[in-house]
Amino acid sequence: MSMKKRLFFSLLIGLFILTLLLTGCGGSKTGKGGGDDDFPTIIDFNAKAYEGTAWRCAASENYPEITVYIDEIVNKDENYHYYSGSVKSSATGTINITGEGLSSYIALTATEFYGMRLITFLVSATGDEGDQIQISGVIDTSKPNTVIVAYLVFNDYEYDDETSSEIIKFTKL
């Protein structure tokens, strides 16, 4: 492409981006900014109801049985409730989570998206020996005893629901 064409193309892209920035979106019907149903909205939920619960997924050929124990709320920010607890498996033993570190946490938040109310379930645990467990899933509030996993890391095994036909679930004990 010639220099003249590149310059013209760059100017055209720049004008397009500037137009988008200046026009913004059309606002919201709800008064909460633009986008309405385009992005999940964080909503209140009974975070204390998850204290003292345990969640387990059955073993597969790729990972052992994993149990997440949620103890108590230790922190809260504008989006998440953070809990102390632990993650246990036959391969890692028990990994304790204080809720104070960046590498080990249990975090829950509630969102509404296209009329569905979901609890986002996030767990990250790193053991003393370097063992790693990460879980990202959702609880549909119409099925409150099941976490449907979107992403799971167990040491070297990585599960992503978009690339696997397997469905991983944690069930409330």
How many Cα neighbours within 13 Å face the side chain of 173? Answer: 13
Judge whether residue 32 has pLDDT over 60. no
Residue 24, token pair as written in the block: 């913004």
Best CA proximity match to 66, nearest among 113, 10, 125: 125
Sorted by where each begins, the domain ranges of the chain are: 3-38, 41-172
In tens, the pLDDT along 108-143 reads 999 998 888 999 999 999 888 888 899 999 999 889
The pLDDT score that the predictor gives to residue 164 is 86
Nearest to 55 by CA among 163, 114, 138: 138
Q: Under CATH, which architecture does the 41-172 domain have?
A: Beta Barrel (2.40)
pLDDT at 158 over 70: yes
In which band, very low, low, confident or very high, does the pLDDT at 169 lie, cut at 50, 70 and 90? Answer: very high
Mean pLDDT across the chain, nearest whole number? 81
Which regions of 114-161 does DSSP assign to beta strands (E)?
116-126, 132-140, 146-154, 157-160
The mean pLDDT value for 39-68 works out to: 92
Number of other CB atoms surrounding residue 162 within 10 Å: 6
- pLDDT of residue 107 exceeding 90, the answer is yes
pLDDT the model gives residue 3: 40
Give the rounded percent of residues in the chain with a pLDDT score beyond 90. 46
pLDDT band at 26 (very low <50, low <70, confident <90, very high): very low
CB of 149 closer than 8 Å to CB of 137: yes
Read off the amino acid at residue 110: A
Q: Is the pLDDT of residue 89 over 80?
A: yes
Tokens of 30: 């709800």
**CA-wise closest residue to 156 among 91, 107, 95:** 91
Specify the range with the lowest mean pLDDT, choosing from 37-46, 71-80, 82-91: 37-46
Question: What is the reported pLDDT for 38?
Answer: 66
Question: What is the sign of the dihedral through the CA atoms of 133, 139, 143 and 148?
Answer: negative
Whether the model clears a pTM of 0.85, i.e. scores above it, the answer is: no
Whether the predicted pLDDT of 155 surpasses 90? no
Q: How far apart are CA 170 and CA 173, in angstroms?
A: 9
Residue 77 has pLDDT above 80, yes or no: yes
